[in-house]
Each structure stands twice: as C-alpha cells, then as structure tokens.
Structure 1
Amino acid sequence: MVYFLIWAAVLVLSFILFRKVSGSMSLLTPNLISITFYYSLLASTFIGSLLIVLNIDEHYMIELLSDDYFRYQGFFFICFIMVAMPLTMFLVSKLASFDGQKEFRSYMEAPVYREENGNQMFYLYAFFTMLSMGAIGYTILKIDTIPLLELLKGSDNLAQLRITASHDFQGSTVIRNIFGVALAPILSMITFIYFIQRKQYRWFFLFALTTGGALFLSVYDLSKAPIFFYIIMVLLLLIYLKIIKLTWFRLAVLGGLGVVLLVVMYVFIQGVTDPSSFLSYNRGPIGRILLSQVAPFYLHLDLFTDRLDLLNGRSLPSSLIGLYDMEQIRSARLAMEVFYPQRVEEGTAGVLNTLFAAEAYANFGYAGVIIGTIYVGFVIQLVYMIFIRLPKNPLFLALFVFFTVNIPRVVIGGFADFLLNTLWVSVLIILLTPYVLLLLYRMISKHRKNRLDEQPS
C-alpha cells in the first residue's frame, strides 16, 4: 500500500510538471513532451515499476534478479526520474521565458509557410529522393534474404532472419540508416506538404516514391515497432497541418486498428496463437510494453552493482571514446550476453534496450542516473522549444515530427544517443545545409536587386 501511495503521488506531481512544460497533455493534440511522458515513461516504465516493486509482475526477466533489493532500488530510481526530468524541463522553460501553453497553441494554429521558388526546392528534394531510393536499393542488394519475403514464402526461421537482417547487415550501415531509414520518412512528409500546398503532380511523384521507400524499410526485417512509429509520424503531420482533427471517437478507432495490426503481426511473425497471450499483463504485446521494456533496467542495476565493474564511459559514442583509445561496449548488448548467452550464441538475440538511465548507471553508477536524468530533460526541452519557435515551414515541420517520434524512442533506448547521435546530426547537416545556402542566395540576390533599383537611371 505504501508503494502504491508513493507511486500515485509521484504520478500526479510528474503529470503536473509535464503539463506546465509541454503546453498540452491532451491525447488529441500530442507533442514531443506528452509522447515522452505517456509512451516512454508512463506506459513503458512507470506502470511496470509498480508491478515489480509489489512483486506481482511474474515476468521472466525479473526472475533473473539475484536479490529482491533491486526491485526497490529500481522503483525509487524511476520515481526520481519521473520528477527530476520534468523539473529540469520546467527550470529550462523559465530561463528561456517559454510559455508552453501559449506557444504550443500558437504553433498549432499557425499555417505552414509557403516557400518561395518552388522549382529550386523541387530539384533539391528530387536529388534527396534519388539518394534515398539509391540507399534503399543498396540495402536490398546487401541483404542475403529479406525476412518479409521469407514470411510470404512460409519460412519457419523468422526469428533468426530478423536478427540477421538487423544486426548482421553486410553493407554500410551509414548509407542504410541515414539515407534510407531516417531520410525516407522525412522526405515523405516534406514532399507531402509541398504537394498539398502546390497541387503539382511532380511533388506527388516524389511523395509516392519516398512513402513507398519508408514503408518498405519499416517492415522488410519484420520489426513491429518501425511501422507503428511511421504511422504515428503521418498522423502527427496531418494534425499539425490541420488536415484532420482528433476526437475521442477517432482516437478509439485508430487505437482499435492499431491493436488489430499488432495482433496480426504477432500471429504471423512470431507465431503467437494462444489468445491468453494477448490479454495477459506480463506476456504478449501488453507485457512487452509494460514490463519487457523496463525489466532490463533492473537487470542493469543487478549486473553493474554486484557482478561487473562500472563501464566508466565505455558505452559513450565511439567517436568520443575513440580519442582515448577505448573500445565501445554498449551495456544493453553486454547485459544480453550475460543473461541470455545461449540466445546470443544461436543468433536469435540482439540487445536489452531499456530506459536511458540504465546505460547511465552502467557507466557512472548513482551519479550517472542523477546527472543523466537532468541532462536528458534539458536536451528534450531545448529541442522542443527550438522547434516551437522556428518558422513553420515544410522542412522544419517535418523535422519536428521526426524528432517528436524518435526522441521518445531513444528515451527507452540508451543514454549514449543523447550525448552524440550521429544519425540525427547527419540528417540535420544533410537537410539544413542546402536549405541555409538557398536562403543566403535569395538574400544576396534580393539585396543586389534592391541596390540596382535604387541606382538612378
């Protein structure tokens, strides 16, 4: 009972703080902060922490803990994160004079700016589309077998094929991840906005190509999450463009369709046919969200407290620790190797990704959890404020939607990606550099034209 009261009090306080910094916690107008709260923290972390501390989880990962002490330690760590993260965001907002409610409402009501010189933009995004399509073709060529095709053929070895396609890719992951996985969905959103604004078939052609590519990369390796996140991107874009307006009925319908799609994927991809698996709180899709996502956090606490020494920074981005001649060791992979060595040897296991604080603890212990939470809260709020205050044009809107979906994924993916995410940095450089150069060109051309007009004839 005491733990439930603590949990409830923390939940109320956390929700109030998140509402202040986001401007809206309504499910009908989702944003970066609210999605982080509802998906990354509440559903994927906080609910499971209550079940675990009450010892009613009956989860296969938690059973691997060497001592029940870690149930309580993990619970209080997560309670700290639920309060410290939004409190950091609140302080950042105050320092930046950011009024979440007012500025988010203004952003939602603002129309999308229509860029000048559509021809230049078309040729630019046509070039990016060719790069993205080339990356997708390259990905196909570098895969021995495409799991999606093997599923259609009736293969019974899908688990190993999924791991092979994801982690044993024979080509350049830079080309695949940057120009394919990341760029295709962003381009699909940008080209859709231009098509809606200009009603030109050439923009629809680019939109069709990039959308097809984004959908293929979301499902080719039979991963379940990417297609859902891409659908959420599309939904957010339509909301921010004011093309659709969510109601509770529409949200319920979309949720129902999502559940049906998830069940179909579990049945045909993982061969789950037991109806009880879909209704159980600790197995199947519900257990995957509520417990399987947070359970590795507890395994990290156990592993790096009594069994292994702290990594002391060896999980940080290789581009940083390489300067000190250190080999990168991701804690999520190490945890998988320790707790599930047989699955790793069989090639059917990847990594035990979980809440960012797990990797922070694996590297720096208690200090990692405290400083890491403050740092992540700062980064998320800073990104949110920047995009809210940027002009609402096709490029910035598409990037905002992209980060609105992907930052919450990284919150339950690892701490190192918040320090230096080469994928995000690369995407920003690729898309923003030519855009800024075009803006400078227009400014210089306009300045020259004005000077010529001012000269006496």
Structure 2
Amino acid sequence: MLNIDEHYMLTRLHNDDYREIGFYWICYIMIFMPLTMLLVTRLFGFNAHGEFHNYLKKKVSLSAKKDRDIFILMTTLSLICFLAVVYMIFILDKIPIVELFRGASNLDELRINAGRGFEGNIVFRNIFALGLPPVLSLIAYIYAIKTKSLPWWLLFLMLFGMSIFVSVYDLQKAPIFFYVLMFILVNIYIGKLTLNFRWISVIGVFGFSFLLVMYKVIGNMSLLNLLSYNTGPIGRMILSQISPFFLHLELFGDKIDPLMGKSLPNIILNLYDIEHVRSARLVMEVYYPEKVEAGIAGVLNTIFAGEAFANFGYAGIVLGTLYIGLFVQIIYISFIRLPKNPILISLFVYFTVNIPRVLVGGFTDFIFNSYWILLFFLFVGILILSRFKQEIHKYYSEVYMNQKS
C-alpha cells in the first residue's frame, strides 16, 4: 500500500489506488475468515485444543480381514496410477526435469508445455498420474508402519517413487514441499513424530536451503536476488503470491466486465454452452502479453478473493470469505471427529495441505471441486465396500455354524 515494494509485478498496475483498496480487502479477509471459523466452532460445540489432542492420542484402527481387501483395491488403483504416469511420459515430447539435467535452456517453455500444452487426456492425467499417487502413498505408508507387512512396504515404495516423480517432473517447486509436509503431518497423527523447537528448526533450515538450491538451479538466480526481499523465495512468499490480487482488482474493476461465473468448472458450464475462463490466465494475458506470446507464461494465481472478485465483484469477496471460513472449519471438525484409520488420516492430511493451496489458487474450486468429490467418494467407497464384504462374510459364517449345529 505504501508503494515501497519495488516488486516487478506491482509495477504493472496503472492505477495505484488499487494498492489501498486491495490492502483493506486483505484486512477484511484476515478478520472475517477466522471469525467465521470461530463462530462455527462455537455452534458445533467444538473444543479445538482438547479434541485435537485427543485425536493425536487415539490409536489407529486396523482390521486384518478388512485391510486385506483394502490392500487388493489399493494395489489395483496403484497399477492404474502407474499406467497413467507411463501414459503421461509417453505423451510428453520432453520431460522438463530430464531436460534440466541435459542442460536445456528453454525450461520455462517446457514447463508450460508439460502443463497447459499436454495433448493427452487431461482428466486421466490429473486424477491418476498427478492426483492419486501421493494420497495412496500416505495410506500405504501408514499400513506399512502399523502392520510391518512386506507387501505394504513394497506398495508404498512404488507409490513413493511415483509421487516424487510427479511432484518434480515439470520443475514446479511447491508440490515436492507440500508432499514432504504431508508426510510430516502423517507422522504426527500416527504418533511417530512430536514437533518441538529442534525439529521445527531442522525442517525449516533444510526446507529453505533446498528451496534456495531449486531457485538457483532452475531459475539461475544470483545470490543477491535469491536473498532479496522482493525476489527469490522471500519475494515469492511475501509479494509475488499476493500481487496478482491487486491486478485482479484493477482489471475487473476498471478494464473489463466481471466474468459472472465463467470460472466455474467445465462440468457445470458445459450444461449452458459457456466457455470456461480462468481469471488468473486472463490477468496474465493482459499484463504479460509478451510472455504469453513467447509461450513461457501460465497463470497468475493469488488469494481466492482475486477469482471471487473477477466473477462476482465485491460481493464475491464478502460472501466468499464467509463461505470459505464455514467450509474449512466444518471439514476440519468432521475429520477430527471421524474414526482414525489409515484412509481417513490420509484424507485429513491431504485436505489439511491442499485446502490452503486452493486458497491461493482460486475460488470456484470451493463451490464445486470434482476431484475432491471423486477422492472423497472413492476412499469412503473403499471403506464401505470392505465393511460390507466383512458383514457378508460374518453373516454366512453364522449361517454355516447354525446349519452345522
């Protein structure tokens, strides 16, 4: 707001009034989102401190018969994921992470081609190659730790390798950090790790050092730029992530009309024959046309309020903030109170890490997120199916024993 950031993205603003407007809207979000979460906590009679510590102490529930069925289903899903990763590699002309080690100079272009330029089935890739392997690896890891079973360990190692690959193949820096974070949370929830100052310091130093190396290798940045407050990883966290919000406000406040829901998922828009438009892509096209023309630009993601404003104006920010606060807290309370088994723990960890990612990626995913819905029903379906099979087996066992008597 004070115009002292000297940030490369905010220099694209034509009207500096939006610095002040954006600042006050961010203050609104910082107050009313947690306030909504607090009100939900009160309405549900949720004791955040007590119930969370009870959850940590609760044992992971396992069932030998049911877990055998889950292993078969998990193995089947893992094989489909493996084929999806192979399919993705086959479709891609060049894999960015491989080209990096070959000394390629057009890494930005390769990254865009690997994402937006993928010519295969995007839904199949996104679900089975990119989406499911990390979640499946968490489930397999918990089973391997708790059962000490070799088949579960082998399945985990396969899924772990796939997950690492899909986290780094396109040279994005965030996915691998979020994947590591999910493992830290899993170990906390199953009682394998207790965070203290020493562990937090080690994780922090290692993470930041690794991030500097990735910026140096991928971005070829000087040490001065790496450690500067408005470039490198520091600038990325405190300025680059929020800057597109101000660009959203100016673009959809002064230059073009609101999208009026055109950022909603295709599954909804196709019913009305409306073309899908990502506000973050539109902002990139308007403010960085030269990068779009060169094929080295993707989207300018920012806090959810950017997309909410682009579609529904200031009412989108006001109501969207309240809605997301409600959504996030209900999800959290639900998982804390659900049974503690490997599948539900992994889903809990997945949403704990990925909801914040979506918060700085868009708003419409909170209205309808087909992948979240698929993920929830897939794994809950596995639990129900294994439970149903167990009940059927129990019923016929009782019938057999009665007949024998």
What is the TM-score of this pair, normalised by structure 1? 0.86
8 A Cα contact 2:215 2:226, kept in partner: no
Q: Give the gaps of 5 or more residues in structure 2.
A: none
Farther off after superposition, 71-80 or 317-326: 317-326
Q: Which residue of 2 aligns with 1:347?
A: 295
**Number of aligned residue pairs:** 404
C-alpha separation between the residues in 1 aligned to 2:188 and 2:244? 34
Q: Which residue of 2 aligns with 1:77?
A: 25
2:245 is aligned, of 297, 305, 316, to: 297
Q: Which residue of 1 aligns with 2:140?
A: 191
Give CA-to-partner distance per residue, 1:161-212, whole Å, 9 cap, x none.
Answer: 1111111111112111111211101111111111112111111110010000
C-alpha separation between the residues in 2 aligned to 1:88 and 1:321? 30
C-alpha separation between the residues in 2 aligned to 1:293 and 1:334? 17
8 A Cα contact 2:80 2:128, kept in partner: yes
What secondary structure, in the 3-state scheme, does the structure 2 residue paired with 1:350 have? coil
Give CA-to-partner distance per residue, 1:50-87, whole Å, 9 cap, x none.
Answer: xxx12221111111212221111101101111111111
Q: Which residue of 2 aligns with 1:227?
A: 176
Give CA-to-partner distance per residue, 1:219-270, whole Å, 9 cap, x none.
Answer: 1111111111111111111111111212111211111111111111111111
Q: Which residue of 1 aligns with 2:351?
A: 403
C-alpha separation between the residues in 2 aligned to 1:296 and 1:195? 43
Q: Which residue of 1 aligns with 2:81?
A: 132
Q: Which residue of 2 aligns with 1:308?
A: 256
8 A Cα contact 1:132 1:180, kept in partner: yes
Aligned positions of 1:32-431 closer than 5 A: 53-117=1-65, 118-272=67-221, 274-431=222-379
8 A Cα contact 1:178 1:427, kept in partner: no
Using the TM superposition, give the Cα deviation of residue 444 of structure 1 relative to its aligned residue in structure 2, in angstroms: 3.6
8 A Cα contact 1:115 1:393, kept in partner: no
C-alpha separation between the residues in 2 aligned to 1:94 and 1:450? 46
1:433 aligns with 2:381: yes
8 A Cα contact 1:315 1:363, kept in partner: yes
Using the TM superposition, give the Cα deviation of residue 425 of structure 1 relative to its aligned residue in structure 2, in angstroms: 1.5
Give CA-to-partner distance per residue, 1:284-317, whole Å, 9 cap, x none.
Answer: 1100111000000000000011100111111111
8 A Cα contact 1:182 1:427, kept in partner: no
Farther off after superposition, 427-436 or 257-266: 427-436
8 A Cα contact 1:317 1:419, kept in partner: no
What secondary structure, in the 3-state scheme, does the structure 1 residue paired with 2:111 have? helix
Using the TM superposition, give the Cα deviation of residue 450 of structure 1 relative to its aligned residue in structure 2, in angstroms: 4.8
Amino acid paired to 2:301 = N
Percent of pairs identical after alignment?
47
Give CA-to-partner distance per residue, 1:271-294, whole Å, 9 cap, x none.
Answer: 11x211122111111001110000
Amino acid paired to 2:88 = T
Farther off after superposition, 206-215 or 372-381: 372-381
C-alpha separation between the residues in 2 aligned to 1:447 and 1:54? 71
Using the TM superposition, give the Cα deviation of residue 421 of structure 1 relative to its aligned residue in structure 2, in angstroms: 1.1
8 A Cα contact 2:84 2:125, kept in partner: yes
What secondary structure, in the 3-state scheme, does the structure 1 residue paired with 2:155 have? helix
What secondary structure, in the 3-state scheme, does the structure 2 residue paired with 1:111 have? coil
C-alpha separation between the residues in 1 aligned to 2:63 and 2:228? 51
> CA 1:247/1:318 → structure 2, altered by over 3 Å: closer, same or farther?
same
Measured on the aligned residues, the alpha-carbon RMSD in Å equals: 1.5
What secondary structure, in the 3-state scheme, does the structure 2 residue paired with 1:232 have? helix
What secondary structure, in the 3-state scheme, does the structure 1 residue paired with 2:64 have? coil
8 A Cα contact 2:37 2:329, kept in partner: yes
C-alpha separation between the residues in 2 aligned to 1:359 and 1:87? 22
Using the TM superposition, give the Cα deviation of residue 423 of structure 1 relative to its aligned residue in structure 2, in angstroms: 1.6
> CA 1:245/1:58 → structure 2, altered by over 3 Å: closer, same or farther?
same
Q: Which residue of 2 aligns with 1:46?
A: none
> CA 1:455/1:98 → structure 2, altered by over 3 Å: closer, same or farther?
farther
What is the TM-score of this pair, normalised by structure 2? 0.96
C-alpha separation between the residues in 2 aligned to 1:132 and 1:115? 26
Q: Give the gaps of 5 or more residues in structure 1.
A: 1-52
C-alpha separation between the residues in 2 aligned to 1:367 and 1:447? 55
C-alpha separation between the residues in 2 aligned to 1:187 and 1:335? 35
Give CA-to-partner distance per residue, 1:375-407, whole Å, 9 cap, x none.
Answer: 111111111111111111000001111111111
C-alpha separation between the residues in 2 aligned to 1:175 and 1:98? 39
